[in-house]
Amino acid sequence: MTIRAAEAADVAGIVALFAADTLGGHGDTTDPAAAPVYAAAFERIRARSGEKLFVVVGDGAVVGTAQLSLITTLLHRGRTRALIEAVHVAPELRGRGVGAALMRHLIAVAKAEGAGVVELTSNKTRKDAHRFYERLGFARSHEGFKLTLEA
């Protein structure tokens, strides 16, 4: 397994992981008609300073992904925070250390970028993921809220 920065050629594999997710309910799809939307989003991510999208590749296929966003605020004396999003590992590889390796990589990148804290959110239905994050040292410290905006 290799963890590296995502490339445009990886987008279809990343989206396939999202689309196969039965708990997330994000409406992702492998329908070719949606490909331009994902390609455009990938280009926006790649163009933004502080945004990093990673893939785990095994046997030539994308088997995991996660995004790291670096956010500097005035809070905590200007400390940079790293937000981890969209962590997905192929179901057949869960429990084999792939996700843990990916998370260690993300944390190392966050430290190298000067982040003082790493945070993430997880859907309340993902009980296995919650146990996984806690085993890695993450604490349930906040209550999360979101507001969906209509386009």
Please indicate, yes or no, if residue 29 is contained in any of the structural domains. yes
pLDDT reported for residue 24: 66
| Alpha carbons 108 and 120: distance in angstroms, whole number | 15
Please indicate, yes or no, if residue 148 is contained in any of the structural domains. no
pLDDT reported for residue 125: 86
pLDDT bin (cut points 50, 70, 90) of residue 137 is very high
pLDDT bin (cut points 50, 70, 90) of residue 124 is confident
Please indicate, yes or no, if residue 151 is contained in any of the structural domains. no
**CATH number of residue 114's parent domain:** 3.40.630.30
Mean pLDDT rounded to a whole number for the chain: 93
Taking only the tens place, the pLDDT of each residue in 26-63 is 788 899 999 999 999 999 999 999 999 999 999 999 99
Number of structural domains (the chain) is 1
pLDDT bin (cut points 50, 70, 90) of residue 144 is confident
Q: Which domain holds residue 75?
A: 2-135
pLDDT reported for residue 120: 93
Among the residue ranges 3-7, 21-25, 92-96, 102-106, the one predicted with the least confidence is: 21-25
3-state DSSP of the chain:
CEEEECCHHHHHHHHHHHHCCCCCCCCCCCCHHHHHHHHHHHHHHHHCCCEEEEEEEECCEEEEEEEEEEEECCHHHHCEEEEEEEEEECHHHCCCCHHHHHHHHHHHHHHHCCEEEEEECCCCCCHHHHHHHHHCCCCCCCCCCCCCCCC
Please indicate, yes or no, if residue 65 is contained in any of the structural domains. yes
pLDDT reported for residue 25: 66
| Alpha carbons 28 and 38: distance in angstroms, whole number | 10
| Alpha carbons 86 and 93: distance in angstroms, whole number | 17
Phi then psi dihedrals of residue 40, to 5 deg? -65, -40
Please indicate, yes or no, if residue 146 is contained in any of the structural domains. no
**Dihedral in degrees, nearest 10, Cα atoms 134, 70, 46, 92:** 0
